[in-house]
Amino acid sequence: MTEQKFVECEDQDGVRIITMNRPDKLNALNTAMTEQLLAALESLAADGVRAGILKGAGRGFCAGADLQEFKDFTPGQADKILYRADLTCRLQSAVTQSPVPVIAAVHGAAVGGGAGLAIGCDMVVSARGLKFGYPETKHGIVPALVMTGLQRAIGRKAAFEMVSLGRLIDADEALALGLINRVVDGDPLPAALEIAKAWAEIDTRAMAATKQLFYRVGELPFEAAMAVGKDVNSLMRSFRERK
């Protein structure tokens, strides 16, 4: 039996648009969709794509993990539970580890793992009407695999408020907190395409080095970060075309 396809890809001028396509479930992440989405994100560099866009089909971006599927994960299915946890962890860090820049075009609901996916992208453009947050505690579970990205994005106090209270915020509040870059009226895809196409015009080596260094220095002490920056600066000058 052929596996159902939950992720669609379309290329435009060096930009790959990745669409989560499970609209009847608000693009909730079951195991099959998580596997397909991870494969799509990991293939960007290998396929020579210069920039990516992640979006959701239908009424929302992504409602997070498919809780209906989780009901079937019993204590006797340790292997399945551990596999899904590892899969989710890899998905949540896939964009950061890719040399290709990816922007999320978000609308409607982006909650739980869906919120984690959005802020895990390098930039986020959101439509008004956004419902963003981490309601896991209201369902008696823990937002474990999205907590790291959230805390690094907005700091400990604001992050703890979001994960402990489970309150959903709108686009304007998400913008004020620094969780998203831009808010637009209507479809966020055109604004995301504009940014992605600008990325696609940049030398791929310079973009990959910039992205790698950006995330690396964020985790290093100041002196170590400056040393890494010096090394990348020297490397960059070695491949820059002379005018």
Catalytic residues, which ones?
136
CB contact at 8 A, 28 and 56: no
For the chain, give percent helix, strand, coil, nearest 5: 50, 15, 35
Element at 164 (helix H, strand E): helix 156-165
Per DSSP, the chain holds a count of helices (H) and strands (E) of: 10, 8
First to last CA, the chain: 56
Question: Tokens 């159902």 belong to which residue?
Answer: 4
Q: Kindly state the greatest CA–CA separation across the chain.
A: 64
- Classify burial at 16, counting beta carbons within 10 Å of its beta carbon; exposed 0-12, middle 13-18, buried 19 or more: buried
Question: Tokens 């992504």 belong to which residue?
Answer: 62
Integer Cα distance of 208 and 44 in angstroms: 12
Q: What angle (nearest 5°) sits at the alpha carbon of residue 153, between those of residues 146 and 35?
A: 35
